[in-house]
Structure 1
């Protein structure tokens, strides 16, 4: 299996990780949270188009550049069905605390799997941080884009509107049950692996 070429960019006031998965002259964008001009500049410099945008959840710092990118590239946007309200409601997506997004893009709601740009991609719902928070999993490459579900040594906050401690605890148990090792690209901070988090993340042992 050919290794994925993944460009990492840290964007916006929340230092959110955005990932560009390159596949020939096409790309998939994971969590374009802000600074669309920087994303577009990289795509132009590398002669890339966008096949689709994949969202791990609907908070403002993960969706803020979506409208600009869709307007330019007319690409599809995929989000788990349980975060529909989060995407469009500026109170729930937290943008009302800074600058309301008033999202206009029509999104494609996902329940579990999609096939896109030659990849089979799983949206594994792991609620807690938001109802529709997901691991976006490239099974064939053993790669997880974890959004704010899990970070290196931590998990996502569960004290926001649309958050739940009870769901977070249930999701942690589900993560513990995932077999095999995966490289994890989180929504904030450095990359890690599933094995490392099972061993070292205190939340996987405490909650």
Structure 2
């Protein structure tokens, strides 16, 4: 993922790379932050996230409602504090799971706009995944074959189809944007949302029929 962000071989300036729940890794968030990229995750379990209370007193934040759970076990933290805060160059369990929450994780529950942005970005990718299932037809897009060479050939063929489709879509977008009617209608925000990752223009009946004839 980081390799693709750094070397995407285009003139586009990449600011964010949206990931699903499984992509919200501490290591990924740390490295993309250092490289000046955002890695906003869509947390599937955000509705079940709970906040620990500082003590056993009745909660004084009525707006948080059911988001609060039990109080923090300060005695447990004191008991394990030394082994969790050892020097960075030393191995140990404290180095594998940093305790400081990433700022994007903290912003997600409080920012509906950020959650909508992440969802919209991921919808583009998920729609494109649907295209992969269609153009890589047979066995629901699963790689088949008795050996590694068959699977590799299938994947390379899919990459070729993807590249051809994106190339055709890019030419179609360029042709449409060259017309004065569209040039004056689209705002900067509209242009930012343009993508060549669409496949509604494919005539699947004709395409699959041609493949069978060959």
Q: TM-score, normalised by structure 1?
A: 0.28
More helix by share: 2
TM-score (normalizing by structure 2)? 0.28
By relative contact order (CA 8 Å, sep 6+), the higher-ranking structure is: 1
